[in-house]
Amino acid sequence: MKTLKQEEIYATEYRDLEDLREHLEEFLERYYNCQRLHSALKYRTPASFEASLAATTDESRAAKIEFSKA
């Protein structure tokens, strides 16, 4: 929330509540999730973290399937 407030809300002037909502969605989808590095994710973006997690999960599933066939 601190980052959202500092980097978007306090830095931008909005026409109305609808304008704020549009900017927030864009901020979250285009910047916060895809470009901004997060220290809690070992300095990766949430998008890249989720992609690596999905790949690991897919590899685990494939390994389980191969193990079961043996």
Task: Say if residues 18 and 26 touch (Cβ distance below 8 Å).
Answer: no
Q: Which two tokens stand for residue 68?
A: 């079961």
Single-letter amino acid, residue 27:
F
Instruction: Pick the closest to residue 49 from 60, 34, 30 (CA basis).
Output: 34
Entry pTM: 0.52
Domain containing 16 equals 2-69
Tally the domains of the chain: 1
C-alpha triplet 37, 55, 46: angle, nearest 5°: 20
> Percentage of the chain with pLDDT > 70?
80
Q: What is the mean pLDDT of the chain?
A: 82
Band of pLDDT at residue 33, cut at 50, 70 and 90: confident
